[in-house]
Structure 1
Amino acid sequence: MAGIYLHIPFCKQACYYCDFHFSTSLKKKEELVFCLKKELELRKEELRYEEIETIYFGGGTPSLLSINEIDQILGAIYKNYQVVKNPEITLEANPDDLTETKILELAKSPINRLSIGIQSFFEEDLQLMNRAHNAQEAKECLSMAIRHFDNITIDLIYGIPNMSNERWRENLQIAFDFGINHISSYALTVEPKTALDSFIKQGKYPDVDETVAKEHFDILVSETEKNGFVHYEISNFGKSNYFSKHNTSYWLGKKYIGIGPSAHSFNKTHRSWNVANNAKYIKALKEGKLPLEQEKLTKKDRFNEYLMTGLRTIFGVSLHQVESDFGLEFKETLLQNAERFIKEGLLVIANEMRQSDVEKEITSSRILRNDNLVLKTTAKGKFLADGLASELFII
């Protein structure tokens, strides 16, 4: 099984915190769609022996695509790839694009999962981030979307300067009240060369506070658990049967190809990425060339990547898999390096938790097994997962 990611590199305006590749000019949208279809055709051999189980329209702002353009892209996928009977097909959307007409069109299309970039239900937060929608649009689009889509996830950002714990709890409660079954939530981070980075350096915007972010994270974990969500990845919370199949495939190391400017691909041994420039991407595809670079992953690269993704998830890092895929020396080194973090209560060696079981059971104590051991973060260590992984990397 494999997945296809499609990067749609267009946005109405630039959010201050964003460092993804996009353009605010839609002039090349028609050409870009043509080239996405061309790239899908040129790369079909990469997944010749795989069935496609997930398709993900990301960006950028994929909801800027017309239904006709979405159908064209999906048509190219079905023409060139083997797709399972009921694939998960996700479209990222901004609230200001989700008019009732647009939602009805999407509901009639093959799209069966919406990922809506709410970020906050409060006006002051949205203005600070320079979001294109307002608080009223955030609520109105959800009111309409839940009538036509069962599988909806929303993005929420925490750690925003001047966001109190109370307002963060209100954000979460609004989502719960809508009956949302999946939430992806991230701390506001300052990426280099973004507008946010510039404003902070100029003293125009308060710097983010990691202490506040940690408080918000703890509230997030606690409140989602109370409302029946499983915290299955550091930034992802889903109710049973509503986990993101596409993102989970990344964390479990499945193959995927990334189509579009700046998109990344992975085939277990190599990683590749497309040029992050719309004009260069379009020029190459029109000439029948693939505008990508590729690197072969060393054993250390693959181990470190498995470590990074594994510690972010509820599934952890399988000690058996480490020994099987990388050798006994890697396993022994990992255990030796992890010892101090285990003593500090940040990591723990536990019984394996299988993906299928997590979907069926909410209470982790009922799904422990004795046939495999995994290294995973404790509740205390979850917020520090990325830092812990980097400390355990084999260089």
Structure 2
Amino acid sequence: MAGIYIHIPFCKQACFYCDFHFSTSIKRKEEMLLAILNELQLRKNELKNELIETIYFGGGTPSLLTSEEITAIFKVIYSNYNVIETPEITLEANPDDLSESKIIELSNSPINRLSIGIQSFFEDDLQFMNRAHTAEESKRCLSVALRYFDNITIDLIYGVPNMSNKKWKENLKIAFEFEVPHISSYALTVEKKTALYNFIKKGKVPPVNEQQALEQFNILVSETKKQGFIHYEISNFGKPAYFSKHNTSYWLGKKYLGIGPSAHSFNGKQRSWNIANNAKYIKLIDSNTLPIEFEELSTENRFNEYIMTGLRTIWGVDLLKIKVDFGEIYFNELIKNSQQFIEKGLLKITLENKLVTTNRGKFLADGIASDLFKV
């Protein structure tokens, strides 16, 4: 089983915290679509022996696509790839794009899952982030979308400067009242080359408070659990049967094909990524040249990636898999290096012989993983 990711590199405006690849000019959207369709055909043999179980439209802002453009993409995918009968097909969308007519159009397409970028239900937070939608649009689009889609996830951001714990709890309360079955929630991070980084550097806004972010993460974990959500990955909370199949496939090491500028792919042994430049991407694809760079994964790379992804999920790191796939040396070293975190109550070994983070260790999972890497 494998997945297809399609990167739509356009946004109405730039969020201050975002470092994903996108353009706020859609002048070349038609050319980009043709290039994406061409890349899908050029790379069809990469997954010729695989069944496609998930398709994910990310970005950027895929909800800027018209229904005709979405239909064109599906036509090429279904003509060139072996798609299972009931794939999970997700489209990321912003509330300001989701009018009732747009939602109805999407519900009549093969798309069966919406990922809506709410981020906050409060106007001042949205203005701080430079989001294109309003708090009222968030609530309106959710009310309508839930009438047409059963499978919806929303994004929420915590650790925002001046967001009190009380306000964060109110954000969660509103989400719970809508009865969405999945929430992806992330701590605000400050990436270089973003407006937020420059604002903080110049003292225009306060820096991110890590203690506040930790407190709000703990609130998130506690409150979602009360509502019946399963915390199946550090940033993801789903009701039973509503986990993201596409994202889960990344964490479980399944193959996926990334289409569009800056999109990444994985075939089990290699990682590859497309050039993050719209004009160069279009030019190269037009000449039937794939704009791709490759990285052959060493044993160390594969081990480190498995540790990183495993510790972020409820499935943890399978110690038997470590021994079988990587050998006794890797196994013994992992057990030895894990001991300090087990003693601190941040990691534990389950009865099923899985190395997992404890509740205390979850927020620190990435840092713990990096200390367990083979270098």
Query: Scaled by the length of structure 2, what TM-score is found?
Result: 1.00
> Which one-letter code corresponds to 1:255 in the other structure?
K
Name structure 2 gaps, 5 residues minimum. none
> Which one-letter code corresponds to 1:393 in the other structure?
F
- Post-superposition CA distance 1:169-211 (Å, at most 9, x none): 0000101000100000000000011000000011111110000
Of 350, 354, 358, the residue aligned with 1:374 is: 354
1:296 matched residue in structure 2: 296
3-state SS in 1 of match to 2:38 = helix
> Aligned ranges for residues 131-210 of structure 1 at < 5 Å?
131-210=131-210
3-state SS in 2 of match to 1:147 = helix
2:370 matched residue in structure 1: 390
Tell me, in whole angstroms, the C-alpha distance in 2 between the residues paired with 1:327 and 1:32.
45
Tell me, in whole angstroms, the C-alpha distance in 1 between the residues paired with 2:308 and 2:355.
12
- Post-superposition CA distance 1:81-124 (Å, at most 9, x none): 00000000000000000001100100111100000000000001
Task: Give, in angstroms, the shift of residue 33 of structure 1.
Answer: 0.7
1:16 matched residue in structure 2: 16
Tell me, in whole angstroms, the C-alpha distance in 2 between the residues paired with 1:14 and 1:26.
13
> Aligned ranges for residues 1-395 of structure 1 at < 5 Å?
1-352=1-352, 373-395=353-375
Pairs aligned (count): 375
3-state SS in 1 of match to 2:141 = helix
3-state SS in 2 of match to 1:389 = helix
Tell me, in whole angstroms, the C-alpha distance in 1 between the residues paired with 2:267 and 2:346.
32
Tell me, in whole angstroms, the C-alpha distance in 2 between the residues paired with 1:277 and 1:71.
25
Tell me, in whole angstroms, the C-alpha distance in 2 between the residues paired with 1:181 and 1:54.
18
- Post-superposition CA distance 1:336-372 (Å, at most 9, x none): 00000000000000134xxxxxxxxxxxxxxxxxxxx
Tell me, in whole angstroms, the C-alpha distance in 1 between the residues paired with 2:307 and 2:48.
28
Tell me, in whole angstroms, the C-alpha distance in 2 between the residues paired with 1:209 and 1:33.
41
Point out the more displaced range, 4-13 or 320-329.
320-329
> Which one-letter code corresponds to 1:377 in the other structure?
T
Tell me, in whole angstroms, the C-alpha distance in 1 between the residues paired with 2:82 and 2:15.
37
3-state SS in 2 of match to 1:106 = helix
Tell me, in whole angstroms, the C-alpha distance in 1 between the residues paired with 2:245 and 2:305.
19
Tell me, in whole angstroms, the C-alpha distance in 2 between the residues paired with 1:141 and 1:155.
14
1:359 matched residue in structure 2: none
Task: Give, in angstroms, the shift of residue 257 of structure 1.
Answer: 0.7
> Which one-letter code corresponds to 2:298 in the other structure?
T
Task: Give, in angstroms, the shift of residue 74 of structure 1.
Answer: 1.1
- Post-superposition CA distance 1:126-181 (Å, at most 9, x none): 00000000100010000100000000000000000000111100000101000100
Tell me, in whole angstroms, the C-alpha distance in 1 between the residues paired with 2:357 and 2:252.
16
- Post-superposition CA distance 1:272-316 (Å, at most 9, x none): 000000000000000001000001000000000000000000000
> Which one-letter code corresponds to 2:368 in the other structure?
L
Tell me, in whole angstroms, the C-alpha distance in 2 between the residues paired with 1:118 and 1:255.
29
Tell me, in whole angstroms, the C-alpha distance in 2 between the residues paired with 1:266 and 1:303.
15
Aligned residues with identical type, % of pairs: 68
3-state SS in 1 of match to 2:147 = coil
3-state SS in 2 of match to 1:153 = strand
Tell me, in whole angstroms, the C-alpha distance in 2 between the residues paired with 1:182 and 1:249.
17
Tell me, in whole angstroms, the C-alpha distance in 1 between the residues paired with 2:127 and 2:363.
27
Tell me, in whole angstroms, the C-alpha distance in 1 between the residues paired with 2:100 and 2:216.
33
Tell me, in whole angstroms, the C-alpha distance in 1 between the residues paired with 2:199 and 2:107.
40
Tell me, in whole angstroms, the C-alpha distance in 2 between the residues paired with 1:207 and 1:75.
47
> Which one-letter code corresponds to 2:2 in the other structure?
A
Name structure 1 gaps, 5 residues minimum. 353-372
Tell me, in whole angstroms, the C-alpha distance in 2 between the residues paired with 1:384 and 1:320.
24
3-state SS in 2 of match to 1:92 = strand
> Which one-letter code corresponds to 1:153 in the other structure?
T
3-state SS in 1 of match to 2:350 = strand
> Which one-letter code corresponds to 2:364 in the other structure?
L
Tell me, in whole angstroms, the C-alpha distance in 2 between the residues paired with 1:296 and 1:323.
22
Tell me, in whole angstroms, the C-alpha distance in 2 between the residues paired with 1:68 and 1:319.
48
Tell me, in whole angstroms, the C-alpha distance in 1 between the residues paired with 2:259 and 2:151.
24
3-state SS in 2 of match to 1:41 = helix
Task: Give, in angstroms, the shift of residue 328 of structure 1.
Answer: 1.2
